[in-house]
Amino acid sequence: MPRPWEVLANARVFDLAQPMSTGMPQSPNHPPFRMTLERRHGDLIREDGGSAANEVIITGGHVGTHVDALAHVSQDGLLHGGLASETVQGHRGFSALGIDAFAPYVGRAVLLDVAAAHGVPVLPAGYEVTPDDLDRAAAGVEIEPGQAILIGTGWSRHWPDPAVFTGQSGGAPGPGEAAARWLAERRPRLVGAETIAFERIAPGRGHAALPVHRVLLVEEGINIVETMRLHELLDAAAKEFLLVVNPLPIVGATGAPVRPLAVL
């Protein structure tokens, strides 16, 4: 058996994270990302002529490409497993089901390209991905329990246009509740997609209801990766690959930024 690095020696690595910068598209429900240099070179010069620059970073846990912890969503006061939210939330965050409870994922992922199944580069805003869409996109691809399922909508191509990408007025494509149940039946470790919310967002509706989050996070205990940069994988017609999902281990947080990688 070859060693891991030997197998990967000629692999191609795809960066699945959107770049983070002040003003980037994000949900208005979360603290806006901001990166500001604090010390610049020349501000404080050591005796030997050396200088170090640094920065301040302000963000939310659901900003940029990120993983939703199970603690993110509750239904009728209960988190996944029937845990009462008020018993585990406090000034140190969540003592259970936080993002620190998510073990880094290094394993196989399949990418179901629903946009390609429709013959378009990007699904239209407000389009609801259905079980039938997933069946068609999954044709010929084996899906095994405990692995990752990603859905391709092509939406990450809109990243340069924040007004379109965030879908505040126009909406965004994504799975409906039926698609969520389709996914859950396959028992994935995690699912992911390109939009800010792993949901179908109807035009003009915003995040008024998030049924897919309820099904996956609360009922099924399946983590969600959002705002993934998948269009390069879609262009490469990649259907399966090694996926790395290692969110920052922020103790007690309901989500955390991540830079997922696909290795083919």
As a dihedral over the C-alpha atoms of residue 137, residue 139, residue 144, residue 145, rounded to 10 degrees, the angle is 50
- Residue 218 bridge partners (DSSP): none
Q: According to CB under 8 A, which one of 142, 160, 208, 237 is a site residue for its own copies?
A: 208
90 touches its own copies (CB under 8 A): yes
CB of residue 113 to its own copies, shortest distance in Å? 19
Can residue 174 be called a binding residue for its own copies (CB under 8 A)? no
Q: Which range binds its own copies by CB under 8 A, 100-108, 113-121, 128-136, 187-195? A: 100-108
Nearer to its own copies, 70 or 117 (CB): 70
The nearer residue to its own copies, 58 or 141, going by C-beta atoms, is: 58
* Residue with Cβ nearer its own copies (157 or 259): 259
Under rule CB under 8 A, residue 237 binds its own copies: no
106 binds its own copies (CB under 8 A): yes
Let me know: does 155 contact 113? Beta carbons within 8 Å: no
Footprint of its own copies on residues 10-39 (CB under 8 A)? 11, 13, 15, 17-22, 29-32, 34-39
Give the residue with the Cβ less far from its own copies, 121 or 249: 249
The reply to whether 50 sits near its own copies by the rule CB under 8 A is yes
Site membership for its own copies, residue 108 (CB under 8 A): yes
d(CA 76, CA 56): 37
- Starting at the edge strand found earlier in the chain, the sheet holding 190-192 runs 13-15, 261-263, 240-245, 105-113, 148-152, 190-192, 223-226, 66-68, 255-257
Burial of residue 131 (CB within 10 Å: 0-12, 13-18, 19+) is middle
Pick the closest to residue 62 from 199, 215, 232, 247 (CA basis).
247
Give CA 13 to chain center in angstroms.
Answer: 18
* CB 69 to its own copies: min, Å: 9
Q: Which is nearer to its own copies, 154 or 255 (CB)?
A: 255
Q: Which two structure tokens, joined as six digits, stand for 49?
A: 């002529």
Q: Quote the CA–CA distance of 237 and 175 in Å, as a whole number.
A: 21
Q: Quick check: 40 binds its own copies (CB under 8 A)?
A: yes
Spell out the SS3 assignment of 163-187. HHHHCCCCCECEECHHHHHHHHHCC
Q: Cβ closer to its own copies: 83 or 123?
A: 83
Does residue 62 belong to the site contacting its own copies (CB under 8 A)?
yes
The only residue of 120, 141, 163, 251 in contact with its own copies, by rule CB under 8 A: 251
* 168 is a contact residue toward its own copies (CB under 8 A): no
109 closest CA partner among 61, 135, 83, 142: 142
Contact with its own copies (CB under 8 A) among 178, 184, 202, 210:
210
